[in-house]
Structure 1
Amino acid sequence: MATANMKDVKRRIKSVESTKQITKAMQLVATSKMRRAKERAVAVQPFFETLFNAMCDISSDSNFTSVFTTKVEKKKTLMIVIAGDRGLAGGFNVNVLKKAAAKAEGLKQKGRTVSIMAIGKKAVEYFSKRDYNVTDSFSEIAEGLSMYGSMDIAEDIAARFKAGEFDSVDLIYTTFVSAITQEPCEMAILPVENLNSWTNTRHAAPIYDPSPEEVFEGMIPTYLCGLLYSAIVDSFASEQAARRAAMESASDNADEMIENLSLMYNRARQAQITQELTEISSASLNDSV
């Protein structure tokens, strides 16, 4: 009985060790992907900050008007929801999808029509299986996303907004705070607001040709591209950080299980040795009698 128990414990130890090797490998891969995603996000930030400043400069004219900045009564909203493509990332996907669902229900209660642009396999699966109007689905694009790919999406959003398909666009994603902290957040990206928060008094007002409005509207797709690209890359970095933390925790739990199983194995082995010594002593005593 003790021998069978020892074999079972030894088999479980080997199984946990194999699982630990997988979680360790996943932890290392997630760490590498997280670092590369952070580098991608930092690399494009100066360009889009300069672009936004130029947009602020154009809109500072008191006579400036644009469909992309006009505030109207919001009735039709496009929600862009960015989640992960895979699981095993702790509460990463659950948290952002729960926030998005709560936002959508809140808008519906206000009488608005809500459409969903789902980015990430988990977001596509979540909203497709529920009572939501999913107009666009993008799975497994985050890791290999290029500026050209995000520009295609941005141009489509800008054209549909200008055509009146929706009158507001909200973005919900997870931002990278630190390697152990990732927070779901939301951002209103259309119509463009807070342009007056940046003023530039270091140069004379430039002349825009053919007009400030047309130049501004030409910048909008690039502006949206920057927001989408940064958000998707930021969300991807957050996903990898969450997965790294989850796999690190799993590896620590595996170590603890191996330690406990090893203790059980040693106790069973000690009991078997004690039993064998007892049988040998009993046999020797019987022979002497």
Structure 2
Amino acid sequence: MAGSMKAVKLRIKSVQSTMQITKAMQLVAASKLRKAKEKADLSKPYLETTLATLTDIANGNTDFRSPYTQSGKSDKWLYVVIAGDRGLAGGYNSNLFKFMESETKDRGEYTVLPIGKKSVEYFKHRKVSLFTEEYAEVAKITISDCFQIAKLICDAYRNGEFGHIYLCYTDFVSMLSQIPTASSLLPLSDLKSEEKVDDGKAKDLILYEPDSETVFNAIVPEYLAGIMYSSISISYASELAARRTAMEAATDNAEEMIDTLSLYYNRARQASITQEITEIVAGAES
């Protein structure tokens, strides 16, 4: 009985130490989450402005042609997959990879540009062709890195290496909900509308130098860089939210386990005291 009580006491101390770690990780994730969400929100105006400019150019020129709006010359697919650098975030990484499996189930061979250590490890383990491993850590990616990634993607598309380029990341819906999603980066086939809407208002006549196609092709990498930066910021916020939720659940489970172990310890201690009293009384009577 004494040995059992000692083991329970050591177990309680071990769970308490674990609970302190999970509680600290929960608080750190919660404090970082607010800044990450603000960064994601601040990136939206840039995206809206560049997208509006691209749309105006595409719809304002009848003879407009750009390689970025036309179907690629190749049938190959490139996926930019944004995952996390660490675990302990619940199903954040596993849900993203399951979503990727469903997206590429009937795709055959495809190439991945992984962003995040977990993304590199996963696709290396599955022996998937990697476009580059230069951006393996999400935490170290800067805005300039996003522009470099966008330039690599645009150059590969224009050279005919890939005909379809998709971005796969985890969208931040709420503190309790993060959903893996995929969106097309290239070609930009949705920019040019089929129907011209005449609302009776005067149209702005903008002259682009040297020409509209050159300006459009110069803005596309900037636009894709903005998408990359925004998606990375949103993915990071989703990872922090998932980690906060997971650590909160782990802390609650640890508290429940401590309560159960304490109850068991108190019962064992009470039984031990009762047994000692019984032995003393029996000895006194004899």
The two structures share one fold, judged by TM-score above 0.5: yes
Q: Residue 104 of structure 1 corresponds to which residue in structure 2?
A: 104
- For 1:136, what is the secondary structure of its paired residue? coil
Q: Could you give the per-residue CA deviations for residues 154-202 of structure 1, whole angstroms, max 9, x where no partner exists?
A: 1111111111111210111110001110001010110113214698966
Q: Residue 49 of structure 2 corresponds to which residue in structure 1?
A: 50
Contact kept, 8 Å, 2:72 with 2:160, in 1: the verdict is no
Q: Residue 209 of structure 1 corresponds to which residue in structure 2?
A: 209
- For 1:209, what is the secondary structure of its paired residue? coil
Q: Could you give the per-residue CA deviations for residues 24-44 of structure 1, whole angstroms, max 9, x where no partner exists?
A: 011111112222111111112
- For 1:247, what is the secondary structure of its paired residue? helix
Q: Residue 115 of structure 2 corresponds to which residue in structure 1?
A: 119
Q: Residue 246 of structure 1 corresponds to which residue in structure 2?
A: 246
- For 2:107, what is the secondary structure of its paired residue? helix
- For 1:174, what is the secondary structure of its paired residue? strand
Change (3 A) 1:265 1:244: same
Moved more, 260-269 or 70-79: 70-79
Q: Which of these residues, 166, 169, 172, is aligned with residue 170 of structure 1?
A: 166
Determine if the alignment matches structure 1 residue 192 to structure 2 residue 188. yes
Rounded Cα–Cα distance in structure 1 between residues aligned with 2:74 and 2:92 = 30
* RMSD over equivalenced CA pairs, Å: 1.8
Change (3 A) 1:202 1:179: farther
Contact kept, 8 Å, 2:54 with 2:219, in 1: the verdict is yes
Q: Residue 27 of structure 2 corresponds to which residue in structure 1?
A: 28
TM-score with structure 2 setting the length:
0.93
Contact kept, 8 Å, 2:120 with 2:136, in 1: the verdict is no
- Give the aligned residue type for 2:12: I
- For 2:165, what is the secondary structure of its paired residue? strand
- Give the aligned residue type for 2:50: L
Rounded Cα–Cα distance in structure 2 between residues aligned with 1:210 and 1:250 = 60
Change (3 A) 1:138 1:253: farther
Structure 1 alignment gaps of length 5 or more? none
Contact kept, 8 Å, 1:85 with 1:139, in 2: the verdict is no
Change (3 A) 1:155 1:216: same
Determine if the alignment matches structure 1 residue 37 to structure 2 residue 33. no
Report deviation, 1:104. 2.4
Report deviation, 1:144. 4.0
TM-score with structure 1 setting the length:
0.92
Q: Residue 160 of structure 1 corresponds to which residue in structure 2?
A: 156
Report deviation, 1:141. 3.3
Change (3 A) 1:82 1:43: same
Contact kept, 8 Å, 2:73 with 2:162, in 1: the verdict is no
Q: How many residues align?
A: 281
- Give the aligned residue type for 1:251: T
Structure 2 alignment gaps of length 5 or more? none
Report deviation, 1:232. 1.1
Contact kept, 8 Å, 2:69 with 2:188, in 1: the verdict is yes
Moved more, 186-195 or 18-27: 186-195
Q: Could you give the per-residue CA deviations for residues 18-76 of structure 1, whole angstroms, max 9, x where no partner exists?
A: 00000001111111222211111111211221111000000012211000001256501
Q: Residue 5 of structure 2 corresponds to which residue in structure 1?
A: 6
Rounded Cα–Cα distance in structure 2 between residues aligned with 1:127 and 1:102 = 15
Q: Residue 220 of structure 2 corresponds to which residue in structure 1?
A: 220
- For 1:69, what is the secondary structure of its paired residue? coil
